[in-house]
Amino acid sequence: MKKLSSLLLALCLVLSLGVGAFAADGIAPEDLKIGMVCIGDNNSGYDIAHITGLEEAMEALGVPAENVTYKYNIGEDETAADACYDLAENGCQIIFTDSYGHQSYTQQVAGEYPDLTFVAMTGDQAKQSGLANLKNAFNHTFESRYVSGVVAGMKLAELIANEELIDENYDADGNVKLGYVGAYPYAEVVSGYTAFYLGVKSIVENVVMDVRYTNSWFDITAEGEAANALMSDGCVIISQHADSTGAPSAVQAYYESGHTVFCVGYNISMLEVAPDVALTSAANDWSVYYTYALQSMIDGTEIATDWSEGYNAGANKIFPLNENAVAEGTAEKVAEVEAALTDGSLQVFDCSTFTVEGEHPTSFLAIDLDGDFEGDEGEAIDEDGIFHESLPELRSAPYFSLRIDGITELS
């Protein structure tokens, strides 16, 4: 009897603890305080995309606008840790850092504040850090890039059909040349340019692409120079994974000097700087993730360590097509491709559509455990030959780093 009653008592205790903990975990929207560390401010398209996403999420969930504290122009150095500490000390329950390089500092502060939630947006160390309160999130940007590649491919097909291309636009094997301005030779960029290339290739089979790196996320001059170098090599369409308007401006100028060139932007609409040549821009809709993360805080549920969604969740998009520049029928084709990405019938990295050193890849280990830059575990290619990018059970940040045939990295 005594045993039974003590058992009951223990059970009650456990239950009440559980309920109590659950109730304590959820935070009413008006009490939810958010910290946001930005690498730039409202002058940078990348930060605007995050700020807009967060503000849309707050509005949708009824979190008052004054509950967010922004830290602008925080570099990828110890000032990022300073900013996180400061937000933590000032009562923020969830703190986002928006740039990859903030991550190790976010992690440092997360280790000291285990009761608060930290999200290193676009980061990749949450799982390996072993910290329960550190999260990563990344949209399927590669899907947007694939769709923007389809737009470019439609344009290319039109240019070929109208015989608007010149000899310099073809390589020795008769492939049309594309150009890509990349920031760093990092998996995120490789994954992106490969997706763009495959998007073009899905429309026009005989294409090759040159990639030039600027070694900066934001450098108007270097991006413009890289685009100029690519165009003088004969590249017809220039896309980019860098945050400025440098490349589209250069393409517009080259077009005005009498050449046939077009471009695809990133993060912001390039119509203002390149009204004749910008076809569209690949983009992310971060509000999907911010809504999910804030809703989880309000409900008191655990936020996924790695979150990654794409068209299926509405987290990806391209900017409205430039009707002055795109080929006829592009809108219909885009709608068809977007629908196929949304329902999963189309996979961007289908290994049957590309080769690495002449072979269709069959195996790729995504996760590097010991820091030697070689994958140690996490098979990303399934038996049907589909490379699954940004699988949440592996890692939300892109890991596709295969250098496929047809693409040449120049610098």
Partner 1 sequence: MNNHEPLIHIAKRDGMVWWRAWLVRLAAAIAALLVCALFIYGLTKLNPVKVYAAMWQGAFGSARRSWITVRDATILLCIGVGLAPAFMMRFWNVGAEGQVLMGGCATAAVLIYAGRALSTPMLLLIGGAASIAAGVLWGVIPAIFKARWNTNETLFTLMMNYIAIQITCFLVAKWENPKGSNSVGIINQQTQAGWFPAIFGQQYMMNVIIVLALTVGMYLYLKYTKHGYEISVVGESENTARYAGISVKRVIIRTMALSGAVCGLSGFVAVAGASHTISTSTAGGRGFTAIIVAWMAKFNTFVMILIAFLLVFLEKGAIQIASQFKLNDYASEVVTGIILFFLLGSEFFIQYTVHFRSHGHKKEVQA
> Taking contact as CB under 8 A, which single stretch among the options 143-151, 181-189, 199-207, 254-262 is the one that binds partner 1?
181-189
| Residue number with CB closer to partner 1 (119 or 189) | 189
Size of the site for partner 1 (CB under 8 A): 31
Residues in 281-320 at the binding interface with partner 1, rule: CB under 8 A: none
- Under rule CB under 8 A, residue 108 binds partner 1: yes
| Residue number with CB closer to partner 1 (77 or 393) | 77
| Residue number with CB closer to partner 1 (74 or 304) | 74
Residue 59 contacts residue 331 (beta carbons within 8 Å)? no
Q: Which of 26, 61, 72, 331 binds partner 1 (CB under 8 A)?
A: 72
- The 195-234 site mask, x for binding partner 1 (CB under 8 A), equals --------------------x-------------------
| Residue number with CB closer to partner 1 (30 or 370) | 370
> Taking contact as CB under 8 A, which single stretch among the options 75-83, 202-210, 252-260, 349-357 is the one that binds partner 1?
75-83
Q: Which of 29, 52, 55, 73 binds partner 1 (CB under 8 A)?
A: 73
Beta strands 407-409 and 306-307, pairing class: unpaired
Beta strands 117-121 and 94-97, pairing class: parallel
In 3-state terms, what secondary structure has residue 100? helix
- The 347-376 site mask, x for binding partner 1 (CB under 8 A), equals ---------------------x--x-x---
Instruction: Tell how far CA 248 is from the center of its chain.
Output: 20
Residue 146 contacts residue 341 (beta carbons within 8 Å)? yes
DSSP 258-323: T---EEEEESS--TTT-TTTEEEEEEE-THHHHHHHHHHHHHTPPPPSEE---GGGT-EEEPPP-T
Q: How far is the CB of 126 from partner 1 (least distance, A)?
A: 13
Residue 100 contacts residue 358 (beta carbons within 8 Å)? no
- Under rule CB under 8 A, residue 78 binds partner 1: yes
The shares of helix, strand and coil residues in the chain, as percent rounded to the nearest 5, are: 40, 20, 40
Of all helices (H) and strands (E), which one includes residue 239? strand 237-241
d(CA 140, CA 346): 14
Alpha-helical regions (H) of 26-62:
45-61
- Identify the burial level of 372 via C-beta atoms within 10 angstroms of its C-beta, where 0-12 means exposed, 13-18 middle and 19 or more buried: exposed
Closest CA to 117 of 105, 102, 129, 107: 107
- Under rule CB under 8 A, residue 249 binds partner 1: no
Half-sphere exposure of residue 100: CA atoms within 13 angstroms, side-chain side:
14
- Under rule CB under 8 A, residue 116 binds partner 1: no
Q: Which of 26, 29, 101, 361 binds partner 1 (CB under 8 A)?
A: 101
Q: Which of 31, 55, 56, 86 binds partner 1 (CB under 8 A)?
A: 86
- Under rule CB under 8 A, residue 184 binds partner 1: yes
| Residue number with CB closer to partner 1 (124 or 285) | 124
Q: How far is the CB of 380 from partner 1 (least distance, A)?
A: 17
- Using CB under 8 A, list all residues that contact partner 1: 41-42, 69-73, 75-78, 82, 85-86, 89, 100-101, 104-105, 107-108, 124, 184-187, 189, 215, 368, 371, 373
